Amino acid sequence: MKRSVAVGSTNPVKLGAVKAGFQSVFPDDTFVFISLEAASGVSIQPIGDAETRQGAENRAQEARLKHPEADFWVGVEGGIETLSGTPDFMLTFAWVVVHSRLRQGQARSAAFALPESVAALVRGGMELGDADDKLFGTKDSKRAVGAVGLLTGNIITRETLYTPAVQLALIPFIRPELYPAETSETEDQR
């Protein structure tokens, strides 16, 4: 079966994670992926689960508006959250939202703690990708390996961190009998 997936981002890392996720979950299907500029509608550096998830939702919805004939619309948004403790520490993670005409899936990626040198720059108002570039002397790392790649020596990259979240967001499409449809349309009417 050939299906189209509109991704609310032109970031090659996000597009790569969506491609890898869909192709691994539906290995017998052929997909066409459309990468679209889509505003997150949230802060440049989303803070906390709610704002980050909303950014992913907004990107998926804008992808749907821009490419309504697609079979799936996907939004991916990275965010941060500071957890209280001794000492306080900052985590980074991403949310993925997937819509079809029938249902929605969503999942959060794994999270990891940022070094204080990066967290301090983010607390000072810098976007995480810019803070990474400043600290590591890189350019546009958020469109490449990301903070996780810089910190792990590419054992895990931003794309490989996000791919499992895409796979998890596809659970309602793997097991549709367990997730109610959002409309009265049937799968055949898509």
Q: Copy the structure tokens of residue 98.
A: 């997937």
Is 178's pLDDT higher than 50? Answer: yes
Predicted pLDDT of residue 87: 73
Is 188's pLDDT higher than 60? Answer: no
Span 101-145, pLDDT tens digits: 999 999 999 999 999 999 999 999 999 999 999 999 999 999 999
Q: Which residues contact 146 (CB under 8 A, 6 or more apart)?
A: 13, 78, 129, 132, 157, 158, 161
Span 82-109, pLDDT tens digits: 988 767 899 999 999 999 999 999 999 9
DSSP letter for 118, please.
H
**Nearest partner of 100 among 10, 26, 1, 3, judged by Cα:** 3
Geometric angle at alpha carbon 110, from 170 and 9, rounded to 5°: 60
Task: Decide if 36 is inside a domain.
Answer: yes
Predicted pLDDT of residue 180: 87
Task: Decide if 65 is inside a domain.
Answer: yes
Name the CA radius of gyration of the chain, rounded: 17
- Number of structural domains in the chain: 1
Task: Decide if 145 is inside a domain.
Answer: yes
Q: Extract the runs of DSSP E, i.e. beta strands, from the chain.
A: 2-7, 30-35, 72-83, 89-99, 104-108, 112-113
| CA–CA gap between residue 86 and residue 59 (Å, rounded) | 35
Q: Copy the structure tokens of residue 29.
A: 């299907």
| CA–CA gap between residue 185 and residue 71 (Å, rounded) | 13
Task: Decide if 78 is inside a domain.
Answer: yes
Structural domain including 40 reads: 2-182
The CATH code of the domain that includes 17 is 3.90.950.10
Task: Decide if 92 is inside a domain.
Answer: yes
Q: CB of 53 within 8 A of CB of 81?
A: no
Q: CB of 83 within 8 A of CB of 91?
A: yes
Span 143-158, pLDDT tens digits: 999 999 999 999 999 9
Tell me the percentage of the chain whose pLDDT exceeds 70. Answer: 95
